[in-house]
Structure 1
Amino acid sequence: MENLRPKEIEMLTQVSTATYTTVLLKMGLRNVWIRHAKPLVSDCRRIAGRAFTVRFVPAREDLATPASWASPISSRGAIEQMPSGCIAVVDAMGVTDAGVWGDILCERMVYRGVAGMVTDGAVRDLAGVQGTGLPIWAAGTAASPSVASLTFADWQLPVACGGVAVIPGDVIVADMDGAVVIPAALLDEVLELGLEQERLEGWMMQEVGRGVALPGLYPPNEATRERYEAFKAWQ
């Protein structure tokens, strides 16, 4: 999996997830925001990276056991395959009564240079997890281990996280509003459109601040577009 280039990360993190959803909506993609994945700390920074997918299925008593944690096909095994700079996207089917990850696993991810984790499930050992500094977006916390409700399945396959299809190598951007999936093939186009949308909306905020009424400004009519283009020409 090819890592994002530093310049791509810099550009991606200049644009909010809210703006990306607008850009992708205009491109015909409505279902890109991962439901229920919220930042576990209030001051989280915006991050971007390639998706490294992890999948759980419902617990089955002969498979979901503490002994399974030692298997090569396990959450531990998946972490050892995560490249630096990736964002782990963990499909827990929305199950929140068992933690998919805990503090020791998060600490290992930090050591390997993983940029963050997004899941529609829960994490456990919250104080320890927060202490690792790993940025995490999750649906909640739970004291129970994963095997109480989930069976580890595999990694680097298409998953459904928070109702969104995520393919390995897709681009994830996450901030205070949650996490958005940008299809890998659309990255260059979304980058260009996202930066322009952010510039336009920044200018609109200035216009609102000086008393301009919303009709014709947001969304912009032809006259507003002309004023915006004139503004850009002087920058």
Structure 2
Amino acid sequence: MNETWREKLMGVSVATLATALYKRGLRNQVIQGVQPVGRKGRNMVGPAFTLRYMPAREDRNQLAEFRNPEHPQRVEIETCPPGQVLVMDSRKDARAASAGDILITRLMQRGGAGVVSDGGFRDAATIAGLDIPAYHQRPSSPTNLTLHEAIEINVPVGCGDAPVFPGDILVGDDDCVIVIPQDIAEEVAAEAVEMTAYEDFVVERVKDGESIIGLYPCTKDEHRAAFEAWREKNGR
């Protein structure tokens, strides 16, 4: 991933990115129903590396499957490139776990930038303490073999109703996760930085008692002039 984009996206919120994407006609890029397993106080940013689950068929999904070195879930953990985000299409079903703390620890040790599942994780309390951003629907205990089969690696998936293509840029903050199409990531990152600067200015003015009318959104020249002075003073 372009490190300039990564640096910019580390400092903006999902809400701001959602506005930038909405302006481009993209309204369904937030992964619905997921939340941080443990809040990290920093953004998760990285290209998507995906895993797709499908409904499990009992004869194909016994505990012996975990001994298979070609099991897609295991292969995914061992092949997700450093700096990328593992995104799991778990069919929005948290009844069976997408992964547990051992697999997520391995992903962390290999340099993964984060992990997102629209299902759930087992050992969620342990995962919350790891130094890797992780997002899921809610904690789960049963193994994924009881309901879902990991079937395909690094293909287009739907995660929490959001379309995710391999290489799309995932950004997660302490609220939720959004998907930025790879081909517009640079322009969206640049615009989000500008939007964030203005929003920070607005927060200061509102705390000082300023009305939001004409300020947010900006429709008055006096506020534009004040913002430019604020930017110069704050190096923004």
TM-score higher than 0.5: yes
Q: SS at the partner of 1:84? A: coil
| 1:44/1:210 CA distance change after superposition, 3 Å | closer
2:224 paired residue number: 225
2:30 paired residue number: 33
| 1:132/1:207 CA distance change after superposition, 3 Å | closer
Q: SS at the partner of 2:31? A: coil
Note the C-alpha offset of 1:44: 4.3
Gaps of 5+ in 1: none
TM-score, normalization: structure 2? 0.92
User: 4+ residue runs of structure 1 moved beyond 6 angstroms?
Assistant: none
Question: CA–CA distance in 2 between the matches of 1:105 and 1:53?
Answer: 15
Which aligned pairs between 1:152-171 and structure 2 lie closer than 5 A?
Answer: 152-171=150-169
Question: CA–CA distance in 2 between the matches of 1:88 and 1:200?
Answer: 32
1:124 paired residue number: 122
Q: Is the 8 A contact 1:117 1:137 kept in 2?
A: yes
**How many residues are aligned here?**
232
Asked if 1:214 corresponds to 2:212, the answer is yes
Deviates more, 1:68-77 or 1:175-184: 68-77
Question: CA–CA distance in 2 between the matches of 1:49 and 1:89?
Answer: 11
Question: Amino acid of the residue matched to residue 54 of structure 1?
Answer: L
Question: Amino acid of the residue matched to residue 182 of structure 1?
Answer: I
2:132 paired residue number: 134
TM-score, normalization: structure 1? 0.93
Question: Amino acid of the residue matched to residue 174 of structure 1?
Answer: G
1:63 to 60, 63, 78: 60
Q: SS at the partner of 2:60? A: coil
Question: CA–CA distance in 1 between the matches of 2:169 and 2:7?
Answer: 13
Question: CA–CA distance in 1 between the matches of 2:129 and 2:225?
Answer: 50
Note the C-alpha offset of 1:124: 0.5
Gaps of 5+ in 2: none
Q: Is the 8 A contact 1:51 1:88 kept in 2?
A: yes
Which aligned pairs between 1:1-235 and structure 2 lie closer than 5 A?
Answer: 4-71=1-68, 72-223=70-221, 224-232=223-231, 235=235
Identity of aligned residues (%): 34
Question: CA–CA distance in 1 between the matches of 2:231 and 2:173?
Answer: 27
Question: CA–CA distance in 2 between the matches of 1:146 and 1:132?
Answer: 21
Q: Cα RMSD (Å) of the superposition? A: 1.6
Question: CA–CA distance in 1 between the matches of 2:184 and 2:151?
Answer: 29
Deviations 1:64-123 (A, max 9, x none): 222222331420011111000111010001111111101111121112111110111000
Question: CA–CA distance in 2 between the matches of 1:54 and 1:145?
Answer: 16
